[in-house]
Amino acid sequence: MKLTPAEFAFMNTRNRQRAMGYEFGALIKHLKKHGIDLNGKVILDAGCGPGFSTGLISLEFRPSRLVAFDLMPEMVELARKHTTAEFFVGNITDTGLPPGTFDAVFIFDVLHHEPGWRTALQEMARVLKPDGVLLVEEPSKQLVRLGNLFDMYHPPEAMFGWSELRRGLLSTGFKILENGRLGLGLFQNYLCRKEEASL
């Protein structure tokens, strides 16, 4: 779903950019721990927002191909100014991207906006190569509810708890390699591998 003007404004602040660095760093630690090297790989940034994450991915991994998309054309426009990638306006539940394309997919704080978040996970599994990795970070449902009191809107269907998200990942055919907590447990991240038998 599109962001409210209040959340759109927040996503474009220096504070959000700083937080993004912290969130990204936590995922890099998971990758290193598992000896996964994404240098020169084909990478997707799903729901890229203003492109802070896309810029970090570009600098860290020098991907051979970096694709990024967002539902909001205004976000894609900002992201294009921020960094270089193959940007497009698209929906995480149905990207139109060819199957088995990516070595890695990053999803930073997008699933809690999407009523069809389970479909989104299936779509990301579809576009990953066999053995590709999915890196996800999401806020707790308590934090998401709190946001709704401050001029943000998150659909009730996407207010999943941690066990629900875990089940969603596993039932899509992802193996969870690592699961970490950030910000006193207000956020959690996951490093997953697509299993051969999944979609």
119 class by beta-carbon count within 10 Å (0-12 exposed, 13-18 middle, 19+ buried)? middle
Rounded to 5 degrees, φ, ψ at 125 are -65, -40
Q: In the chain, how many H helices and how many E strands?
A: 7, 7
Give the nearest distance from C-beta 185 to ligand SAM in angstroms: 18
d(CA 84, CA 95): 20
Q: Which residue minimizes CB distance to ligand SAM?
A: 49
Which of 24, 53, 78, 127 contacts ligand SAM by CB under 6 A? 53
Q: Which residues contact 42 (CB under 8 A, 6 or more apart)?
A: 63, 64, 65, 67, 101, 102, 103, 104, 129
Q: Which residue in the set 24, 102, 108, 174 belongs to the binding site for ligand SAM (CB under 6 A)?
A: 108
Between 38 and 53, CB nearer to ligand SAM: 53
Q: Give the residue, chosen from 114, 133, 141, 190, that forms a contact with ligand SAM under the rule CB under 6 A.
A: 114
Quote the CA–CA distance of 194 and 158 in Å, as a whole number.
22
Listed ranges 1-9, 147-155, 168-176, 183-191: which one lies at the site for ligand SAM (CB under 6 A): 1-9
Interaction between residue 27 and ligand SAM (CB under 6 A) = no
By the criterion CB under 6 A, which residues form the site for ligand SAM? 1-3, 11, 20, 47-49, 52-53, 70-72, 75, 91-93, 108-110, 113-114
